[in-house]
A and B are shown apart, each in its own frame.
Chain A
Amino acid sequence: MNTSEPTIQTENSFLSEVLQASGENLQACYQCQKCSAGCPVAYAMDILPNQVLRHIQYDHREKVLSSKTIWICASCYSCSVRCPNNIDIAKIMDTLRSMALQSGMKSGEKDIPLFHSVFLDTIKSKGRIHELSLILQFKAKTRDFLKDAGLGWKMYKRGKIKLFPSKFGGGKEIQEIFNTFEKREK
């Protein structure tokens, strides 16, 4: 062994990043699994919420950030309010989604992050969410034009679909918000 080589840091950088970004003491988790037992979408996840916390403690960055789980989480906060150690798990999921987007890692769920990005583009260009523009732009990316077309027509007939976006004057401020965000992303 070459002793002149620098000592390998064994500290868990993923854990400290999540701790810092979320402000949540996930080290307090003792794996009671109450979060996963009450999670309404656990059945569709590839790693259960309690396992996510354990994987973070074990420094399994890729396993967590490329999981389906972080995107399937619907932010219903059932886990957060029931955790006996007061860990806001839903907030940690937000942190993980943010980190996953930053990492550029392949996402476990393709359409969900894509939808969020189209949603934010709509705010950036229109200030408000004009539902029809949002749906058309999302469909243009997924190429799934037929899904919910019949439902859309029914909603249109009932006056629920607004054809044109509202005018708004806050465009400059919205642009500034997005400029700051995009600079931070780089």
Chain B
Amino acid sequence: MKDISYYPGCSLHGTAREYDESIRAVSSLLDIQLHELEDWTCCGASSAHCTDEELAIDLAARNLAIAEKGHRPLLVPCVACYSRFKTVEIEVKEHGKKMHFPYEGNFPIQYSLDFFCEEPILEEIRKKRTKPLSGLKVVCYYGCLTVRPPKLTGIREYENPQHMDRLMEILGAESVPWSYKTDCCGASLVMTRTDIVRNLSGRILSMAKEAEADCLVTGCPMCQANLDTRQEELEKGGWKNGGLPILYFTELMGLALGHKDAKKWLSRHITDPIKVLSTKGLM
């Protein structure tokens, strides 16, 4: 049993609920015990770093100080929170910045995708895979902060990352090469300049369709929401590609590991994934 601290972040208690549910489920199947940080608060997100650097650091550091008391690695499923935390870690460890909260950077901060793509965990997945995702063609969509900037993420192949593709192959799916792996979906502009998000997300969805993918896989709640929820509007505007399910990588892990709740998570999506998965005999 591996013990690890867990910072779900705000989205996973709301619109990205199925991401939280599937992470908890697959962790339990892989003998990973998640300890949700007590009394965590918002990392500050884009709004804090767009407004004031010190405010952004304080809001993130408060959570890191709570995690430090736990003496365990910290698992962060939302890549936007992860990016904020890594920024603070670098401020402390590399620039010697003094914090208002007792945080010295004495534990590793891990983004969920990186965590589940570590070799010992992949080995465990290989062993426990009961329902390989045979015949499922996926495109792996990493987006921005999963890989950029590499000084925070430590990802060397940031223009053409491969780790999610490898995970998908281990689950038994076919990961299709495509050119929009790391293009931006428009992120938090969705509330204010929805037109930009429709444009950017529309291009990503079109390229995924051109690659003949059955679904797109991501590990970012913001990307998932933007790509999943804007398809109907795109169709009204003349986009003719039909629905493309947008799945969290942990949902596909749960499916391949045979978790009983997979259908519950998948039924929370706006663009229905169940039909495609049933056609492929995976549900």
Contacts and interface: CB of A to CB of B under 8 A. Distances in A.
A74 B189 contact: yes
A168 B53 CA distance: 24
B62 interface: yes
B47 A170 contact: no
Interface string B31-55: 0000000011110111111111111
Contacts of B148: 76-78, 80-81
B14 A162 contact: yes
A120 B17 CA distance: 22
Interface of A: 21, 40-41, 44, 72, 74-78, 80-81, 88, 90, 94-95, 97-98, 101, 109, 111-117, 119-120, 123, 127-132, 135, 138, 147-148, 151, 154-155, 158-162, 166, 168-170, 173-174, 177-178, 180-181, 184-185
B13 A166 contact: yes
Contacts of A101: 51-52
Interface of B: 10-11, 13-17, 39-42, 44-55, 58-59, 62, 100-101, 144-145, 148-150, 158-159, 183-184, 186-189, 191-194, 196, 200, 229, 267-270
A81 B150 contact: yes
A76 B144 contact: yes
Contacts of B186: 40-41, 74
A23 to B, nearest CB: 9
Contact of B191 (A78, A98, A138): A138
- Most chain B CB inside 10 Å of its own CB: which residue of A44, A74, A158: A74
B52 A74 contact: no
A168 B15 CA distance: 19
B50 A94 contact: yes
A172 B270 CA distance: 38
Nearest to A182: B55
B110 to A, nearest CB: 20
Nearest to B230: A151
Nearest to A111: B192
Contact of A76 (B15, B184, B191): B184
- Most chain B CB inside 10 Å of its own CB: which residue of A78, A147, A166, A178: A78
A159 to B, nearest CB: 6
A98 B149 contact: no
Of all A-B residue pairs in the complex, the 10 with the closest CB atoms, nearest first, are A119-B47, A76-B184, A129-B10, A116-B47, A77-B148, A111-B192, A76-B144, A127-B41, A181-B55, A177-B58
A168 B41 contact: yes
A131 B188 contact: no
Given A123-B44, A174-B62, A184-B52, 20 more contacts: A41-B186, A44-B196, A72-B196, A74-B184, A74-B188, A77-B145, A78-B184, A80-B149, A81-B150, A88-B149, A97-B50, A101-B52, A130-B14, A154-B270, A158-B268, A158-B269, A168-B40, A170-B39, A174-B41, A181-B54
19 contacts: A40-B200, A41-B184, A41-B196, A77-B144, A77-B148, A78-B184, A98-B50, A111-B193, A113-B50, A115-B192, A116-B50, A117-B51, A123-B42, A131-B15, A147-B194, A154-B270, A177-B59, A180-B58, A180-B100
A157 to B, nearest CB: 10
Contacts of B101: 173
A128 B10 contact: yes
A164 to B, nearest CB: 11
B17 to A, nearest CB: 6
B49 A94 contact: yes
Contacts of A111: 191-193
